[in-house]
Amino acid sequence: MRRTKRTYRPYRTGKRRNMKPRLFIALAATLGVGLAGYLAICTALTDTPAAPPAERISLSAPAGISGVSFEAPPKASPASGTQPDKRALRQESYIVDFDAIPLEYTRLPFYIPENSLLYAEFSQSRPDLDPEAVVWMVNAFVHVPFYSEIQVNYSPNPLLITPAFRLPYDFAPTALVPVNHDDCPHLATPETVAAFREMRYSARAAGFNLSVVSGHRTSQRQLRLWNNGGRRDGRIARPYHSEHQTGRALDFWGPGGRGLMDSNSPVGRWAAANAHHYGFIVRYRAEATHITGYIYEPWHFTYVGLEISLYMHNNNILSLEEFVGRNPDLR
């Protein structure tokens, strides 16, 4: 029997693919991403960061406030492209030799080294003042014309509000309560109301009656008073420059509710002599009109707290400007 030769062919499942090119591509991509990240980190560490954009400041008053010329906010730095503050340039254009400053200034506990140039300029213009007066007046910004160089008091409980220090445009007291009773239209801060009620109780025991004619005011109310002649007679502050907006200022009626309280009336004399026992001060005294910028107001009492009112009384400090000038951290 003839045998035939059989040829065996292996079973082929498919063509085997070559994976080497794909591995090389994946490896190259991984190395590329890593290199790009490394270069980015090096660039961030070596390059100087760009200056932040200058803050946009609006010179217009808040909505609802018009008819009064508001001051411009502080100028930006020269790097922002706007005109720099002249006072800042004046400070930078001089080299202050602190060794040449008299010890009468530097030894004062309320001396501020940053104000050295201002002290020197003011003392030259007012040689009649002693070093203490020069320093506290500059600290309280009463050495410049009223409403000329205005600062913003950002304290949540601002103590000093003057022609030189105004409230922020978004300021509002944390709380307001009626002065006398629930239907009383006059409001003040809770601390002011509590002190007033205690003072009124003592006044009644002495045979006098204290009645409030004005308490907290909104900026719109303050603007109406300013436009209705207040700017001319020196009795009304600009909006955001009034203590009434803080809720700590009270105006008292005179005897029988006839006009504002007079210093010559018995109740006016009693209030002025005893207010410091309850945390109040006569804010605008006759002896301090050149400091405060306002006429004598024997009816205007400001709550500053018992500690400050007693300190001012015991040390014969007649204005809040002088107290803050001697205690600038309490502004």
The torsion angle over the Cα atoms of residues 220, 221, 224 and 229, rounded to 10 degrees, is -140
- What angle, rounded to 10 degrees, do the helices at 266-274 and 190-205 form? 130
* Residue 274 covered by a domain: yes
pLDDT at residue 221, as a whole number = 93
Assess if residue 215 is contained within a domain.
Answer: yes
Q: What is the pLDDT of residues 155-170, one digit of tens each?
A: 988 999 999 999 999 9
Query: Which of 118, 139, 160 marks a domain boundary?
Result: 139
Tell me the Cα Rg of the chain: 35
Instruction: Specify if 22 maps to a domain.
Output: no
Q: Decide if pLDDT at 310 tops 70.
A: yes
User: Does one domain contain both 124 and 192?
Assistant: no
Residue 104 sits in which domain range?
A: 83-139
49 vs 39, which has greater pLDDT?
39
Check residues 167 and 258 and name the one with the higher pLDDT: 167
Claim to verify: residue 311 and residue 248 sit in the same structural domain: yes
pLDDT at residue 211 greater than cutoff 80: yes
Per-residue model confidence (pLDDT) at position 191: 97
Q: Are residues 227 and 295 in the same domain?
A: yes
Whether 316 has a pLDDT exceeding 80, the answer reads yes
Model confidence pLDDT, tens digit, residues 142-152: 999 988 999 99
Percent of the chain with pLDDT over 90: 51
The yes-or-no verdict on residue 25 having pLDDT over 70 is no
The CATH number covering residue 291 comes to 3.30.1380.10
Task: Give the range with max mean pLDDT: 54-63, 65-74, 121-130, 222-231.
Answer: 121-130
Residue 187 one-letter amino acid: L
Does 208 share its domain with 126? no
Say whether both 309 and 177 belong to one domain: yes
Could you tell me if 219 and 112 lie in one domain? Answer: no
Quote the pLDDT of residue 30.
Answer: 64
Q: Judge whether residue 239 has pLDDT over 80.
A: yes
186 with 304, same domain? yes
Model confidence at 182, in pLDDT bands (50, 70, 90)? low
329 belongs to a structural domain: no
pLDDT at site 130: 94
For residue 329, pLDDT beyond 80:
yes
Q: Look at residues 123, 139, 155 and tell me which one is the last residue of a structural domain.
A: 139
Residue 16 has φ and ψ, to the nearest 5°, of -75, 130
Tally of structural domains, the chain: 2
Whether residues 187 and 286 share a domain: the answer is yes
Report the distance separating Cα 328 and Cα 331, nearest Å.
6
Whether residue 156 is contained in a domain is answered as: no
Distance of alpha carbon 69 from alpha carbon 233, whole angstroms? 18
Shared domain for 135 and 177, answered yes or no, is no
Are 184 and 305 in the same domain?
A: yes
Do residues 241 and 296 both lie within one domain?
yes
Please give the Cα distance from 252 to 61 (Å, whole number).
31
Classify residue 327: in a domain, yes or no.
no
| First-to-last C-alpha distance (Å) of the chain | 126
Least confident of 69-78, 229-238, 295-304, 319-328: 69-78
For 10-20, the pLDDT digits (tens) are 444 444 555 55
Range ranked top by mean pLDDT from 59-73, 169-183, 275-289: 275-289
pLDDT for res 255: 75
Q: Which residues pair with 214 in a beta bridge?
A: 251
- Domain contains 42: no
Tokens of 187: 């409001």
User: Could you tell me if 119 and 185 lie in one domain?
Assistant: no
Q: Is the pLDDT of residue 34 over 50?
A: yes
Question: Do the domain assignments include residue 283?
Answer: yes
The predicted-structure confidence for 79-138, as pLDDT tens digits, reads as follows 444 444 444 444 444 455 555 567 888 899 999 999 999 999 999 899 999 999 999 999
Whether the pLDDT of residue 187 is over 90: the answer is yes
